[in-house]
A and B are shown apart, each in its own frame.
Chain A
Amino acid sequence: MKSPTNKTTIIAAIIAVAIGVGTFVALIVLGLGGERGMGQPVDGGYFLQDAATPVMEDLTTVHNMVFYWISGITAFVMALMVYIMIRFREKANPVPSKTSHNTAIEVVWTIAPVLILLFIAVPSMQLLYFQDKLPETDMTIKAVGNTWNWSYTYPDLENIEEIISNPLDEVQAKAQGKPYLLGTDAQLVVPVDTNVKVLVTSINNMHSWTVPSFGIKMDAVPGIINETWFRATREGVFYGQCSEICGIKHYYMPIEVNVVSKAEYARWVANDGAFTSSVAQNNTLMGSGQTAAQK
């Protein structure tokens, strides 16, 4: 080989490796290092919302694992393209080769993706079954999608009446210090560290009951009762938004879940669905005021 070709090869390789590694590092640092919302989106965020349930923790792990792979693959293909574009441009390589077969390499690029996909599939399946198989649950709530609000009932509790959860308009939301298009006038209240079974259905159009921090998205389909579960491991308010197109106010039927301590929850139940503690009251000022139970 003549030296100019060698020089091109080296330069091409250096640039390609630099671009490949740079892309990979940038993707990983930016992709996994971002600020994360807790229970709601964060301003300008570019990563998953923080986990508040074991399912979401696993989901985050699987997402990150897949993210490593796909960032690596993207960076690898980019680097290869850059190398090829420099090394084999017309000027650097005026006489094209005539190779059009190479069984060994073809086998490699068929088997390698299969192996990567197996690496991905195993944890992914574990997550899927963990998410889907209901464990022993301690309580049940029923979420019903309607055009355009959510209603919640506690089938095991006779004294809690149906909670109709409507979105707050911009003025009300500001007044109550809740995020507009996420805050509602009546929250769903659940205890922390408790396995909660969620039944989801709809009485007219389809909707989807979604709480990103819980790793839950379950369609509300008329005539069908879907089942899912969560176990919130942190107290606080968690928001979500309807995620199946349901008509004109699709963007305007948020979901708000208040996770409280077990003691707090017991008191809430004893009070027929009203908070007594001032802390929680602060949280849910309007919320408890508007539950059907209080009217």
Chain B
Amino acid sequence: MVALPGENISAEPAGYHDDGKPKFFARWFYSTNHKDIGTLYLIFGIISGLIGGFLSFMMRMELADPGIQFFTNEHQYLVYVSMHGLIMIFFMVMPALIGGFGNWFVPIMVGAPDMAFPRMNNLSFWLLPTALICLLISFVVPGNANGNGFGGSWVMYPPLSTTGHPGPAFDFIIIGLLAAGFSSIFGAINFITTILNMRAPGMTMHKMPLFAWAVLVTAFLLLLALPVLAAALFMLFTDRIAGGTGFFDPARGGDPQMFQHLFWFFGHPEVYIMILPAFGIVSHIISTFSKKPIFGYLGMAYAMVAIGVVGFVVWAHHMYTVGMDVNLKAYFLAATLVIAVPTGVKIFSWLATMWGGSIRFTIPMQWALAFIFLFVVGGVTGVMLANAGVDAYLHDTYYVVAHFHYVLSMGAVFGIFAGFYYWFGKMFGVMYNKFLAAAHFWLFFIGVNVIFFPQHFLGLNGMPRRYVDYPEEFAIWNQVSSFGAYITLAGVVFFFLMLIEAFIVRRRVGDNYWGEGATTLEWTLSSPPPYHQFNVLPRIEDNAEH
């Protein structure tokens, strides 16, 4: 259903396209409306975040002191580590950023009435709860002789994931991840089609808002990376069958390192899949609350394209210690450093956007500023880890855990919260309580720094990751780190208080409650937007701001 410029979409014959909302069950379970699906994704992300957060909290409790406190079956600790990683990545960050905000705002920002394939959109969403259920089942079915669940880390390297976990637990994970992967691939096709074909008249690529650019690049990364993961998972699956294949089994001529190459060919683009949409969100927020157009718009858009392209040729920096040829390592070292350049362009362009601006420190702006700071900290330790020689010391230590939590648990998650507080009124028509939101922000900001900054020290001092117990020399910083988890937990409590309060008090907001500075199309619609927006497609004037 591609609308011609100016065509009135409500002239569609099917009664479903009138403005009346379907009844509850039809609306939320058969949903084909991009905004409803976006909301479903956000709710799903919150639920997964609670599960993944619970797992991480248990791990931090365990690690608070040397010795084994709760995980008397150490296998269970590894199960928690693995499931925490998988759930946070596939079921929290990706659904919230791409499924949630992508669905909600990409069609609106490009001036389209909905996504290109609304039914496929529904399928994309409902594959995810199915996938999550598979992962949760995996907790309670046998993994290996040591107990239930899969304890081979989110990277799933064989032989630990083949002969090391003969039980059905890992099969459930494979099925779940395949389902999640297909969900993402369908979503990616949907976004690409929508953005390339359904932009409103006058909305050229070079006028498209940066969030739409971010999701477009992300969708291409998904489309190219996830099939490789699917293939690798499928190869694991057939390797696991008795008398099956031996792709990764050296005894049958296979090569376990090959899996790592396949995994990280997906895995590295995956980290950009998680961060690019956050880049897009932060750009809008910085611009809105500086009351200035984004600085160097084209540079910003093409920096993301560059990051996406280069992101595909750096994967083996995760594998410096597997015994690669030294020239190969040298190549991956150089290529990885190159990524720092477009990343720097993004950081400096945000700062330049604020320069000369008239800055308001609203709640979303606080999250966005924190995002920049935390992303810089996580980014510079990435430069350290890119050095293959130094990585021989730091690889698989807590330094790496600190690094990727600074960019993920803080970068991506702060991007999510920034977007959530930015668009909350737009999505739900009501405004939150500023005090509760500020408490959430400050507790979270302090909490995650207290958790993860000391982990650099642990890594430098030599503590390996995925350890349920550690020599007592590491005790102090682990204790501090766990204390940070309690602060963060308090922040989470305020998040839910904020939600409950906002929906009870229901402070109504206007169309453009941020005022001057908020220039993208969603601010021309009511809050919340009509069930079907743009019955008459908007025309983008030649001199409109991005």
A pairs with B: yes
Hey, which bits of chain A sit against chain B, CB under 8 A? 37, 40-49, 56, 58-59, 62-63, 66-67, 69-70, 73-74, 77-78, 80-81, 84-85, 88-90, 93-102, 105-106, 109-110, 113-114, 117, 120-121, 124-125, 127-133, 179-182, 200, 204-206, 208, 210, 212, 215-219, 221-224, 226-227, 240-252
Are B389 and A131 closer than 8 Å at their CB atoms?
A: yes
* Residues on the A chain within 8 Å of B538, using CB: none
Q: Which of B144, B250, B383 contacts A120 (CB 8 A)?
A: B383
Q: Give the contacts of B6-57 with A (CB-CB under 8 A).
A: none
With A181-B469, A245-B157 in contact, do A217 and B74 touch (Cβ < 8 Å)?
no
Are A125 and B330 closer than 8 Å at their CB atoms?
A: yes
Give chain B nearest CB distance to A39 CB in angstroms: 10
Give chain B nearest CB distance to A179 CB in angstroms: 5
Asked if B190 is an interface residue, CB under 8 A from chain A, the answer is no
In this complex, what residue of B is CB-closest to A251?
B467
In this complex, what residue of B is CB-closest to A130?
B389
Q: Which of A125, A241, A251 contacts B333 (CB 8 A)?
A: A125
Are B361 and A89 closer than 8 Å at their CB atoms?
A: yes
| Besides A125-B330, A206-B160, 13 new A-B residue pairs in contact (Cβ under 8 A), listed by A number | A43-B476, A44-B473, A45-B460, A59-B390, A88-B354, A90-B360, A106-B345, A128-B387, A180-B472, A200-B323, A217-B395, A222-B159, A224-B255
Are A109 and B345 closer than 8 Å at their CB atoms?
A: yes
Are B333 and A100 closer than 8 Å at their CB atoms?
A: no
Complex: A132 Cα to B328 Cα, angstroms: 12
Asked if B526 is an interface residue, CB under 8 A from chain A, the answer is no
Complex: A114 Cα to B1 Cα, angstroms: 46
Say what secondary structure dominates the interface of chain B: helix
Complex: A62 Cα to B385 Cα, angstroms: 11
19 A-B residue pairs with Cβ-Cβ distance under 8 Å, sorted by A, are A42-B461, A42-B473, A44-B475, A49-B461, A58-B389, A59-B390, A73-B376, A77-B347, A90-B358, A93-B357, A99-B356, A110-B341, A113-B341, A180-B471, A180-B472, A182-B471, A226-B322, A245-B157, A247-B75
* Residues on the B chain within 8 Å of A105, using CB: 352
Asked if B242 is an interface residue, CB under 8 A from chain A, the answer is no
Q: Count of B residues near A, CB < 8 Å?
A: 94
Are A248 and B146 closer than 8 Å at their CB atoms?
A: yes
Are A246 and B295 closer than 8 Å at their CB atoms?
A: no
Complex: A150 Cα to B178 Cα, angstroms: 36
Are A45 and B384 closer than 8 Å at their CB atoms?
A: no
Asked if B321 is an interface residue, CB under 8 A from chain A, the answer is yes
Are A222 and B292 closer than 8 Å at their CB atoms?
A: no
Are A244 and B376 closer than 8 Å at their CB atoms?
A: no
* Residues on the B chain within 8 Å of A96, using CB: 290-292, 356-358
Are B376 and A250 closer than 8 Å at their CB atoms?
A: no
Are A74 and B376 closer than 8 Å at their CB atoms?
A: yes
Give chain A nearest CB distance to B400 CB in angstroms: 10
Asked if B60 is an interface residue, CB under 8 A from chain A, the answer is no
Give chain B nearest CB distance to A73 CB in angstroms: 6
Are A223 and B256 closer than 8 Å at their CB atoms?
A: yes
* Residues on the B chain within 8 Å of A181, using CB: 469-471
